[in-house]
Structure 1
Amino acid sequence: MSNWKSYIKEYQNYLKLERGLSDNTIQNYTFDIEKLVLFLETNSITQTPINITEETIQQFIYHISSLVNARSQARVISGLKSFFTYILFEDYRKDNPLELIEVPKTGRKLPDTLSTTEIDKLIAAIDLATPEGERNRAILETLYSCGLRVSELTNLKISDLFFEEGFIKVTGKGNKQRFVPIGKSTEKYILIYKEQIRNHLNIQKGFEDTLFLNRRGRQLTRAMIFTIIKDLAVKINLSKTISPHTFRHSFATHLLENGADLRSIQLMLGHESITTTEVYMHLDRKHLAQVLTKFHPRK
């Protein structure tokens, strides 16, 4: 294992420094390699990243295929491919043992989408009599109207708010920054929270510029945002499984359904590749058929 440890450490540094990935993403990449290492140890296989064979990798994949679904299996294979591509580029070995290993076909599973009525109901269920209520309303409005990832929301700074210009500055994956338009009503809810609730908190050192804070004056965790949303879903008896990402997903879906073009949606979501955004195109065939009928010259 010690042999693997040093290579994994180098790989983590590469992901952090050269690819600019977040600690969270690096952890996920490393997790896949550690699964392989555990398999080798359990089966007393002494191969290293330099001499591990395609046969051993195949055995490992066969082993995990009995434990996880096709989607998780595909993720593990993809994570390992990335690691061995790095090993290859560093000239530690001359081939990638995963080159010929096929990733199981998976349909891209999309999360549930909320209707505008359901979003209104969730927001209406917030108890505005509590200080946290005003904060939570501003959080949900921001998640939905700006299409943010949960980490982008928790890291949002007061200095990122450019309300005069009608934008907020968002720091996404790999520290990439983008400007996202913000509507007047969302601005209003953020200002109510900022000026009537946040300024009464005992703000801890280091969090003076963080927009959304917990009652102890520190940055909210991702888990806290999940809890807020789950509790509201229970409150309105919502049968869908939702998370903070559902609001981002609904934001993109509603934009598409109302005629926004994919390139604009891609820019707002901060997707590096248009392919990721294209997933939304598979959502509502009925809607696309209507678009064709309405706009095509030979309808």
Structure 2
Amino acid sequence: MNQLTPLPSPALALPVLVAAADDRAQRRFLEFFAVTIRNPHTRRAYARAAGEFLAWCAARGVVSIAEVQPLHVAAWIEGLGREVSAPTVKQRLAGVRHLFDWLVTGQVVPVNPAASVRGPAHSVRRGKTPVLAPDEARRLLDAIDVTTPAGLRDRALIGLMVYSFARVGAALEMRVEDVFVQNRRLWVRLHEKGGKRHEMPCHHNLEEYLTAYLDRCELRDDRKGPLFRTIARGTRRLSNTPLPQANAFQMVRRRAVAAEIETAIGNHSFRATGITAYLKNGGTLERAATMANHASTRTTQLYDRRPDDVTLDEVERVLI
């Protein structure tokens, strides 16, 4: 294995069963993560699933990756279901299933032991993401001190997620050049999952937030630089380093506390908040799906929290 290039992530250290196999099997295992998966989040999740499953097998006496049987996969899934949620179980099963498909086509193992194993039943009609009421979202945005680069950045980022329904991952991957003028209006270009490019005109509030951020932080000339950046240590000025997703989450929670918002919001809350507000004001589900770059309106429906208002009204009918 000394001819192999360095692993792209520490998460891809070889499990015991793979390390015990020959060079061809080891190379095929690594190629699954390096060649077939482009999304870093998916790569990380599948690497974790594969590592945990193969370690589970080794702990129960399986000595070769070729000896893994459907019963092993089924028993692992059964135990996993008592520890984590059904969607997590399904995701990890998918990772193991895809891995063994790759090993089968590479003639490392004869059959896929996960192919016939069924995951837990799971049906979702309503998302779990906490959502802000429009007045709460307004209060959050207005509470941000925009006399500092950090405040200008945070208001622009939150506004982008609210008004364009952007995923935080797509927002944080933006470069300065992804904010541009077209037909005398400001537009944003989002780089979504699967390499999809999604362009949206800006709401007038978002246009104001982005313009103030770009101009007052003097970012316009750095067209290839990241749009949302960290604050350089000890300077209170923007650095050249892209803002990590974990930092964005901490920022959102900090801003929510400062605005006295008790809802436990996260980065994804603003996507659901914007979609719900749009639908409440006469927008259609089909248009919302297009704006959110969803392939199906079924996905968009998970972000629609209009039925919550009905539920609250009905609960208050219990007059005791």
TM class by smaller structure? 0.7 to 0.9
Q: Distance in 1 between matches of 2:220 and 2:287?
A: 38
CA shift for structure 1 position 93:
4.8
The answer to whether the 8 Å contact 2:165/2:291 transfers is yes
CA contact (8 A) 2:155 2:209 kept: yes
Instruction: Identify the residue that residue 206 of structure 2 maps to in structure 1.
Output: 186
Q: What corresponds to 2:122 in structure 1?
A: 106
Which runs of at least 4 in structure 1 moved beyond 6 Å after TM superposition?
A: none
Q: Given the alignment of the two structures, is residue 10 of structure 1 paired with residue 31 of structure 2, yes or no? A: yes
Q: CA deviation at 1:190?
A: 1.0
Displacement of 1:226 = 0.8
Letter in 1 for 2:29: I
Aligned length: 279
- CA distance 1:115–1:106, shift in 2 (3 Å): same
Q: Is the 8 A contact 2:130 2:266 kept in 1?
A: no
Label 1:214 to 1:198 Cα distance change in 2 as closer, same or farther (>3 A): farther
SS of residue paired to 1:214: strand
1:63-90: per-residue Cα shift (whole Å, max 9, x none)? 3233223332222222222323333454
Q: Deviation per CA, 1:36-70, whole angstroms, max 9, x where unpaired?
A: 0111222231131x442101112222232332233
Query: Partner amino acid for 2:96?
Result: L
Indicate whether 1:276 and 2:299 are aligned.
Answer: yes
State yes or no: 1:33 paired with 2:53.
Answer: no
Superposed, 1:93-132 pairs within 5 Å as 93=109, 95-108=111-124, 109-132=127-150
Compare the two structures and name the one with the higher helix fraction.
Answer: 1
Q: What residue number does 1:133 align with?
A: 151
Q: Which blocks of at least 5 consecutive residues in structure 1 are unaligned?
A: 289-299
Shift of the alpha carbon at 1:7? 3.5
Aligned counterpart for 1:169 among listed residues 189, 199, 211 = 189
CA contact (8 A) 1:84 1:97 kept: yes
User: Quick check: 2:163–2:203 contact (8 Å CA) kept in 1?
Assistant: yes
Check whether the contact 1:8–1:30 (CA below 8 A) recurs between aligned residues. Answer: no
Tell me what 2:215 maps to. 195
Flag the 1:257–1:132 CA change in 2: closer, same or farther, 3 A: same
* Cα distance change of structure 1 residues 91 and 273 upon mapping to structure 2, 3 Å threshold: farther
Structure 2 spans left out of the alignment, 5+ residues? 1-15, 233-238, 311-320
* Alignment counterpart, residue 71 of structure 2, candidates 55, 60, 85: 55
Instruction: For residues 170-205 of structure 1, give each alpha carbon's deviation from its aligned partner in whole angstroms, at most 9, with x where no partner exists.
Output: 11112211112211221121111111124599x8xx
Please state how far the C-alpha of 1:134 moved relative to its aligned partner: 1.7
Q: Give, in whole Å, the separation in 1 of the partners of 2:41 and 2:69.
A: 29
Deviation at 1:227, TM superposition (A): 1.3
1:277 positional shift: 2.5
CA distance in structure 2 between the aligned counterparts of 1:171 and 1:256, rounded to whole angstroms: 24
How far, CA to CA, are the matches of 2:103 and 2:159 in structure 1?
A: 44
TM-score normalised by L of structure 2: 0.77
2 CA distance for matches of 1:35 and 1:273?
A: 32
**CA deviation digits over 1:70-115, x for unaligned, max 9?**
3322222222223233334545555432233222123434211111
Q: Is the 8 A contact 2:45 2:92 kept in 1?
A: no
> For 2:57 and 2:110, how far apart are their aligned partners in 1?
21
SS of corresponding position for 2:249 = helix
Q: Is the 8 A contact 2:28 2:106 kept in 1?
A: no
Q: 1:70 aligns with which of 86, 96, 110?
A: 86
The share of aligned pairs that are identical, in percent, is: 20
Does the CA-based 8 Å contact 2:176-2:219 persist in structure 1?
no
Note the C-alpha offset of 1:285: 4.0
- Cα RMSD (Å): 2.8
Please report how far the alpha carbon of residue 256 of structure 1 lies from its aligned counterpart in structure 2 after TM superposition: 2.7
SS in 1 for 2:268: helix
Distance in 2 of aligned mates of 1:182 and 1:37: 48
Cα distance in 1 for partners of 2:189, 2:153 equals: 19
User: Against the structure 1 CA distance between its residues 101 and 75, is the aligned structure 2 distance closer, same or farther, given a 3 Å change threshold?
Assistant: same
